[in-house]
Structure 1
């Protein structure tokens, strides 16, 4: 165990002076409260960052399975989608008194991230809807096969005190008809898409604990170094839990520097539940967006 010596009287006096100065500085800096805050402006510079995460990125709380949290609600116009044809999914985020929220802050360059996934963790869609002046968001969905789905809205807004609130809210939706579930692929450390091979590495993941996950991208056996920026990073990684479809957004580490990303991409992986997770890795090369899927086991 560490051994500590008794501080001298002079040291204790110096510590008291420094502490008092710090308290005075804090009081002065908070004197203007939340006045003058622009709800429609860019993400606040006071948003929490770790030094490794992308600037302005805030970690939403919860597992994304609630329709309402912190006084905000995800309110779709309908919970039924047409089968095997494109459709427009409209929704609002409501606040106090059921009024539509119209002020949001950018999260990875977008004001709203919308996800749709089937109960068997297939049919993944990640879109960036547009908002009308009345606060109605519209997401243009690709055709979906029959089944039960969950729709997610990921966003950051502000509460009545002006504090940024990052949230992921969701609702179940249905596509009428019959279609068999596809068995979840077994857990693996590699996956392929469009001729690219992605390899996952890092410590064994434990539920509720933060780990660093590395994704290495290769093509034809050679490291890929021409990844282009996508949402202010070189890859976007989202996870869904098998069984209940709990949501997790894995935050990237590092900074974007030109169109020469890769081959290694590092993420902060905090998955809240044990079991199998289906991860979707999105990255861009040559102006084309690729989406790879892989199953990851969490203890």
Structure 2
């Protein structure tokens, strides 16, 4: 890695690397990888998320090695100068990493300036058209929930309505990172005692890479004010919990508490966005119990629910919901007198969260209202919020709406039938 475990300049400048011709399209791709790394470094320093800088090490190292191996093809008559510029750039990133690891914001800003200057000198070795092609890799974004949807950062996903806020990362071959669609994090949960109805229990969530390396908070992208959302439900899809575990002293270990209202084990989906791809994953695992859980028996389609004196209703734009077809709908909340309720409080930067569990007890969906994040804690919302759903699996879905009123979460259950 660069920084505390950086690659030494003399290793990068090794002139014994086999020489080969690197196609111009691959030159643009490699430079695009470096450009994306620099873009991320700027974002991390700007947002004061210094601990995330180490996530760029593998991509930077692989891209730099590829460019080094083809230095003669990139800068035919100036390969020595090119190698020196590349070495200097990597050294500057290493210096930034070192001060970032010490959580020194001011020094990180200074070192970032040196990184940008060094990168400008490195880019000067490439033809103008290669630099322009590499720039294109900074302008392609994807939906974190639907990775096949790509566009500009200002676009919205036509399937779920979320903004395309995740840079579509270019990864080096043989980098060790899972490709899009592959699970990159594994989850497990241990408890202080088997689950018992009505008894609170302390649970420990363990997150690991396939290599066994622990997943730290700095390895995850924050979504709706949290880096880990735990979606927890029993086998009857009745007792739903939304928890946010906190890290313990052990790397990759996170603590949370749970008081089950139903017998049997519970299933947990850790809703996360791991670096470097930043795409949403659901790492699924079980919380064990000494008792047997209840089966799913209530599969009634239900678009209305009454909870704690308020009425909740889902209003769909069409009568049927099918797999792979986006459908718009509204969540409307009214008080006992029939008037629209307008005192919803911000909850994780929005006025409502919808979480659905399919009858297969494997497929889960996490939906948010359309619109910008709600960052003002004094803001209030309602009575209607607009959503969009694009289900991936047919069958019955238990959907829970979570809102916050007077500092307390309320959960309204619904029943949907998804057609093939």
TM-score bracket for this pair, using the shorter chain length:
0.7 to 0.9
Structure 2: gaps spanning 5 or more residues: 1-27, 45-49, 54-138, 144-152, 168-180
Q: What is the match of residue 219 of structure 1?
A: 335
Q: Cα deviations across residues 103-154 of structure 1 (Å, max 9, x unaligned)?
A: 2111110010012211110221110110124120111111343224211111
Alignment of 1:91-102 (within 5 A): 91-102=205-216
Equivalent residue pairs, number? 262
Q: What is the match of residue 118 of structure 1?
A: 234
Q: What is the match of residue 396 of structure 2?
A: 276
Equivalent position to 2:35, from 5, 10, 32: 32
Q: What is the match of residue 292 of structure 1?
A: 412
Asked which structure has the greater RCO (Cα within 8 Å, sep 6+), the reply is 1
Bigger radius of gyration, 1 or 2?
2
Equivalent position to 2:162, from 41, 53, 58: 53
- Aligned mates of 2:277, 2:208 — CA distance in 1: 17
Equivalent position to 1:89, from 189, 197, 203: 203
Q: What is the match of residue 77 of structure 1?
A: 190
Q: What is the match of residue 224 of structure 2?
A: 108
| Cα 1:138/1:55, change in 2 over 3 Å | farther
CA contact (8 A) 1:146 1:174 kept: no
Q: What is the match of residue 272 of structure 2?
A: 155
- Aligned mates of 2:29, 2:295 — CA distance in 1: 56
Q: Is 162-171 or 213-222 further displaced after alignment? A: 162-171
Deviation at residue 29 of structure 1 after TM alignment: 7.1
Structure 1: gaps spanning 5 or more residues: 1-24, 59-67
TM-score, L = length of structure 2: 0.56
| Larger proportion of helix | 2
Deviation at residue 289 of structure 1 after TM alignment: 1.4
Deviation at residue 186 of structure 1 after TM alignment: 1.2
Equivalent position to 2:281, from 145, 164, 167: 167
Q: What is the match of residue 246 of structure 1?
A: 363
CA contact (8 A) 1:57 1:107 kept: no
Deviation at residue 155 of structure 1 after TM alignment: 0.8
TM-score, L = length of structure 1: 0.76
Q: What is the match of residue 382 of structure 2?
A: 262
| Cα 1:171/1:180, change in 2 over 3 Å | closer
CA contact (8 A) 1:153 1:170 kept: yes
Q: What is the match of residue 12 of structure 1?
A: none
Q: What is the match of residue 301 of structure 2?
A: 187
- Aligned mates of 2:302, 2:314 — CA distance in 1: 8
